[in-house]
Amino acid sequence: MPEDVDNVEKESSPGPFWSGTISFGLVSIPVSLFPANRSSRVHARALGPEGVPLGRRYYSSKTDRELPPKEMVRGYEIEKDRYVLVTDEELDRLAPKKSRDIDLRQFVDVNHIPPIYFERGYFLAPEGDSTKAYLLLAAILEKTQRAGIATFVMRGKEYLIAITGENGILRAETMRFMDEIRSPGDIGLPERKKAPAERTRHFIQVIQKHASPELSQNELRDETSTELLKLVREKQGRKQDVVVTGEKEGSNEGAPDLVAILKQSLEGRTGQRPKHSQAGTRHAARRPHRLRTHVAKRARP
């Protein structure tokens, strides 16, 4: 998906980032597209030892010289170290034509679409006076368990999409194209063979023992992010490892030495080393920026 789509998904109440029309036969239904998911994972910003956020730049692997955008060209690798150059103008000519239509050209049994083809989920909301037609299409797709298949263009890129009905609403799933899917043979999976009857019965018994009528909500929680945020809040409350980046120009305060701060934290406030193995200390020191940068981010007013 486009980078700006990810930014939209981080908002608590996102607005639509695409509007257009669902079309099939002589029917047209104006809709807006909303993300069905939002990112809740904890992200950390990389900082340098002086406390300044790190940026990304491009360098020539031959001359080690930094390259400005105007000196960069695109190339398609045809074999190792051989490229065919492609200009921006050529890419523009190949770009899909701009359109605001989702033309449903086929309706298929949703159960016949392998899950591996589904990529990301969205909600479609009715626009204008299209509510009645919207609800009717959602109800029919849900009743018949069919998905409308179409392609549409968003931000200059063409997407394959499947539209289904669920609880009176239309849902959309962007799909991967066929050449994006690996086959089992690509990664060396074994061929299917008939299993012994006794072994089969044992597997069935184990599965039935742990079977549940529905997926538990506890299985859907991100425990790692929850525990990391808990640790961050505890350290913030103790004012431990909290640093401030981006001081105003002309400030007399020196830049924080993040490596020194981490070392002090590991050795303890009294100068004694923490009670864990030396190997554990080395492991923590190898990635000093991840926790500190998150603390710095949360500590800003």
Type of residue numbered 203:
F
* Least confident interval from 3-7, 34-38, 130-134: 3-7
CA distance 227 to 229: 5
Q: What is the pLDDT of residue 264?
A: 65
**Who's near 65: CB < 8 A, 6+ residues apart?**
59
pLDDT digits (tens, 9 = 90+) for 14-73: 678 889 999 998 889 999 999 988 766 667 778 777 777 888 888 888 888 888 888 888
pTM value surpassing 0.75: no
Q: Is 46 left (phi over 0), alpha (psi -120 to 50) or beta?
A: beta
CA distance 85 to 75: 4
Fold assignment, 3-41+95-180:
Ku70; Chain: A; Domain 2 (2.40.290)
Q: Dihedral sign, CA of 21, 24, 28, 30?
A: negative
Q: What is the pLDDT of residue 257?
A: 61
Residue 119 near residue 177 (C-beta atoms within 8 A): no
pLDDT digits (tens, 9 = 90+) for 87-131: 888 877 777 777 788 989 899 999 999 999 999 999 999 998 899
CB count within 10 Å of CB 97 equals: 6
Q: What is the pLDDT of residue 242?
A: 74
Question: Burial letters for 128-157: b for 16+ Cβ neighbours within 10 Å, e otherwise?
Answer: eebeeebeebbeebbeeebbbbbbbbbeee
118-126 vs 27-35, strand pairing mode: antiparallel
Give the end-to-end CA distance of the chain in Å, rounded to a whole number: 32
Mean pLDDT for the chain? Answer: 77
What backbone torsions phi and psi does residue 28 show, to the nearest 5 degrees? -135, 125
Helices (H) and strands (E) counted in the chain, each on its own, are: 8, 10
In the block, tokens 């509510």 appear at 131
**Who's near 287: CB < 8 A, 6+ residues apart?**
none
What backbone torsions phi and psi does residue 148 show, to the nearest 5 degrees? -85, 125
Domain ranges of the chain: 3-41+95-180, 223-299
